[in-house]
A and B are shown apart, each in its own frame.
Chain A
Amino acid sequence: ILNVEQSPQSLHVQEGDSTNFTCSFPSSNFYALHWYRWETAKSPEALFVMTLNGDEKKKGRISATLNTKEGYSYLYIKGSQPEDSATYLCAFNESFQKLVFGTGTRLLVSP
């Protein structure tokens, strides 16, 4: 059974704080690693799809890194805003068809 672990489970920060979360995944049979943001009452939306060891991707204040050899990815949010409040899910692609999710990190940003 594939295990994708995320930590922390939840996080409460103040507006302007920077924060980061971790996703751990199997280091064998790596195909791709995805990050999604899931806001309440909306659909999960893709942030990044990462495929190469050492990948770093950035979208505005959010960035992510990937280490496939040791099986982890970090997601960073710089200067958190209340609109960043959401659950952040990572998902491991074992093959192009199979996407296995972690439990997510629930982020709350207070004004």
Chain B
Amino acid sequence: DAMVIQNPRYQVTQFGKPVTLSCSQTLNHNVMYWYQQKSSQAPKLLFHYYDKDFNNEADTPDNFQSRRPNTSFCFLDIRSPGLGDAAMYLCATSRPGRNTEAFFGQGTRLTVV
């Protein structure tokens, strides 16, 4: 049973048209992450939540926003997608602690046309 679910798996959006990607978890984990992965590159951390505390990476563009209305759900909003935002977006969750692994969704592949 999938524990971290991302919807949709594939998303096509128009240049400049706002798009929202969603992530839900059944693990009740405190921490939720959003990563962006472009072809052959490392997954890049965009931001993460520890409970309701939002932590933005310094180099995450302002175009990317996130919401976490409750423990289970987290959303990635791209306000004005550009062609350079086409990528795989991965959501992950974890508990705080040193020996804890992250659990990932299957990702959303975003195409910008």
Chain A contact residue count (CB 8 A cutoff): 27
A43, B42: Cβ atoms under 8 Å? no
> Among B11-19, B33-41, B66-74, B77-85, which stretch is in contact with chain A?
B33-41
Separation of A34 and B43 alpha carbons in the complex (Å): 14
User: What residues on B are CB-neighbors of A32 within 8 Å?
Assistant: 98-99
In the complex, what residues of B have CB within 8 A of residue A42's CB? Answer: 106
Chain B interfacial residues counted at CB < 8 A: 30
Residue of B41, B45, B97 near A99 (CB, 8 A) is: B45
B102 proximal to A (CB < 8 A): yes
Most buried by B among A36, A97, A100: A97
Give B contacts to A, CB under 8 Å: 2, 4, 31, 33, 35, 40-45, 48, 50, 55, 59, 90, 92, 94, 96-107
In the complex, 8 of the A-B residue pairs with CB atoms within 8 angstroms, ordered by the A residue number, are A34-B101, A43-B103, A45-B104, A96-B98, A97-B96, A99-B45, A100-B42, A103-B42
